Amino acid sequence: MEAQWTPMRWPSAWKDPNAVNLLQGTGIDCLVIGAGDDLAPVRSRAREAGLHVADLAAPPAGVAVVKGEWPGVKTGRNEGQTQTGPTGVPWVDSNGWAIRLARAEQPEAQVWVDAPPAANAVIAADSYLIAMADSAAYGGRWIISLDNALAAAMDAQKPEAEKPWARVKETAAFFAAHQAWREYAPFAVLGVISDFSGANEFFSRELLNLLARAGQHCRVLLKREPCATDGLRALLYADAEPLTPALRKQILDFVEGGGLLITHQWPAPLERELPAPVDGFSMFAVGKGKIAISKEPPTDPYAWANDSVILVSHRYDLVRFWNGGAAASYYTVSPDRRRAVVHLLFYSYRGPDAATVRIVGRYRAVRVATVDSPQVAGVQMEARKDAVEIHLPQVSQYVALQLEA
């Protein structure tokens, strides 16, 4: 797989071509520049400096652009309030699910997330860190987009621009130096099968989004392909169309071998009913596994996401946090399965003072890296049965746990 570019949207107010020099040594190697004639000298200077130049109206070959949103804890209408769901958990916006879907649909493509800050926003330095890490952790790249105030301050060489721009530069350089992580495969418990399009588009995509918010580690399984069910404990199928005979046979083999299917339809009558842990589902034993059938057609992806977590059971959680706050994780393994990287993202205004993370798997060593430090000191790891617990000191909003089996 080719090396991945790190794109940045050129501020339209920057007319001086010499501003390209700001990107030297940053890891930023692609500029997204508008098509206006007034920026022609900038485009020319960027190419002379060895940078790629792109236009989002016609993205480069091999690049998939997804429209995203600014990542973080969604705030309420009043200053200082956070928006929560019925469980009281902070409502976190992330682009990870959209990147993973785009990568499943176009495995060879580089995925760029287009999610610029609001026109009147003033973005803190660590908010740029989480915006960039939220995409890069999942194998994509956020199109670095400076808020208007920062762009103006940099153009005027004001000192208040130094901290946020330094944060952008060091984050870009960090992920540019870890291209190999993009080759790692996601470790998952649940596979979501769908075509993610047409009449199924809203429900299936929102389901991926909400499962990620619920902390469930999922694999995107395209219905048009043979499904890679190896290593999974459960499958979820909520599309409106009946399963094709070939896919139904594959899923039945998975269930009879000990897996769980969560769905709203099954063509054959099922007789061995079991107690169901969720009121809205009926549970049936099939071979060594189970099929959970919704009593109502799927209309609420929020309910389906949370019910699915219960049906699968928290006992199979791959990652658990203590003192993590509004946190998310993405667990990936190397092609030879001898190494793993678990990306941790803390979406509050800063990282935790201390946190403990439980990772399923037998590992002998861990190296903890942040954008600030290639090896965080003061980390302790304890072996548990089929898992390790990692005790973190104070860390920033993004942490990479590099594990060795």
* Structure-token match 């594959």, residue found: 250
C-alpha span between 6 and 136 (Å, rounded): 10
- Sign (positive or negative) of CA dihedral 24, 27, 30, 34: negative
The CATH number of residue 302's host domain is 3.40.50.880
Per residue, what are the HEC states of the chain?
Answer: CCCCCCEEECCCCCCCHHHHHHHCCCCCCEEECCCCHHHHHHHHHHHHCCCEEEECCECCCCEEEEECCCCEECECCCCCCECECCCCCECEECCHHHHHHHHHHCCCCEEEEECCCCCCCCCCHHHHHHHHHHHHCCCCEECECCCHHHHHHHHCCCHHHHHHHHHHHHHHHHHHCCHHHHHCEECCCEEEEECCCHHHHHHHHHHHHHHHHCCCCEEEEECCCCCCCCCCCEEEECCCCCCCHHHHHHHHHHHHCCCEEEECCCCCCCCCEECCCCCCEEEEEECCEEEEEECCCCCCHHHHHHHHHHHHCHHHCCEEEECCCCEEEEEEECCCCCEEEEEEEECCCCCCCCEEEEEECCCCEEEEECCCCCCCCCCEEEEECCEEEEEECCCCCEEEEEEEC
* Contact criterion met (CB below 8 Å) for 263 and 242: no
304 and 332 housed in the same domain: no
Q: What total number of domains does the chain contain?
A: 3
Q: To the nearest 10°, the Cα dihedral for 124, 128, 129, 130?
A: 100
Q: Are residues 294 and 171 in the same domain?
A: no
The one-digit pLDDT tens for each residue of the chain (405 residues) are: 577 999 999 998 899 999 999 998 889 999 999 888 889 999 999 999 999 999 998 999 999 999 999 998 865 433 334 444 444 445 789 999 999 999 999 999 999 999 999 888 889 999 999 999 999 999 999 999 999 999 999 999 999 999 999 999 999 999 999 999 999 999 999 999 999 999 999 999 999 999 999 999 999 999 987 899 999 999 999 999 999 999 999 999 999 999 999 999 998 889 899 999 999 999 999 999 999 999 999 999 999 999 999 999 999 999 999 988 899 999 999 999 999 999 999 998 888 999 999 999 999 999 999 999 999 999 999 999 999 999 999 999 999 999 999
My answer on whether 64 and 151 are in the same domain is yes
For 227, residues 6+ apart whose C-beta sits below 8 A from its C-beta are: 191, 193, 221, 235, 247, 250, 251
Q: Which pLDDT value is given to residue 70?
A: 94
Domain boundary among 182, 211, 236: 182
Residues 225, 172 share a domain: no
* Residue-level pLDDT at 88: 41
Q: Are residues 194 and 175 in the same domain?
A: no
Kindly tell me the sign of the dihedral angle through the C-alpha atoms of 200, 210, 218, 263: negative
pLDDT of residue 87: 42
| Domain match, 172 and 31 both | yes
Domain match, 270 and 332 both: no
Q: What is the pLDDT of residue 124?
A: 92
Q: What is the rounded distance in angstroms from the CA atom of residue 310 to the CA atom of residue 369?
A: 33
Is residue 178 located within the same domain as residue 108?
A: yes
- The reported pTM is 0.93
Q: Residue 218 has which token pair?
A: 């999922």
pLDDT at 84: 44
Are 363 and 403 in contact by the 8 Å Cβ rule? The answer is yes
Are 389 and 320 within 8 A, CB to CB? no
Q: Which of 164, 182, 200 is the last residue of a domain?
A: 182
Same domain flag for 30 and 159? yes
Same domain, 302 and 390: no
Last residue of a domain, one of 182, 206, 235: 182
Residue 374 domain boundaries: 319-404
- The enclosing domain of 399 has a CATH number of 2.60.40.1180
